[in-house]
Amino acid sequence: GGCWQRCCPGRNNGCWAPGTHRARCYCDSYCQRTGDCCEDYRAACRRAAVGCVVGPWGPWSGCSSPCGVGSRARSRQVTVPPRHGGEPCPDLKQRRGCLGEHPTCGTAR
């Protein structure tokens, strides 16, 4: 059996072929985790793999708290989604702590 024309991204139990000893082998990208890929999986499927590509980080947001401890966030977008078992996308959001220092902090009314 073989994977030609049967490569599937993700976990797809419909992408299988008869393997050795009448057992099924799989042609989905999940087979790499479970170790039950068809012998020609890499040659047939990995060649077409496209890894995730992301854009640059956007600017950090303002501090969520005008006075005291808060957080800032930033994000980025996926420009090319992963296909055919390519590298998954890295984190698209980041958060970090900040200290709000608005001019009105600490003034009594």
3-state secondary structure the chain: CCCCCCCECCCCCCCEEECHHHCEEECECCHHHHCCECCCHHHHHHHHCECCEECCCCCCCCCCCCEEEEEEEEECCEEECCECCCCCCCCCEEEEEEEEECCCCCCCC
Are 83 and 60 in a shared domain? yes
Q: Which domain holds residue 94?
A: 54-108
| Reported pTM | 0.53
- Look up the CATH number of the domain holding residue 83: 2.20.100.10
pLDDT greater than 70 at residue 89: yes
Are 85 and 99 in a shared domain? yes
pLDDT greater than 80 at residue 49: no
Q: pLDDT category, 83, cuts 50, 70, 90?
A: confident
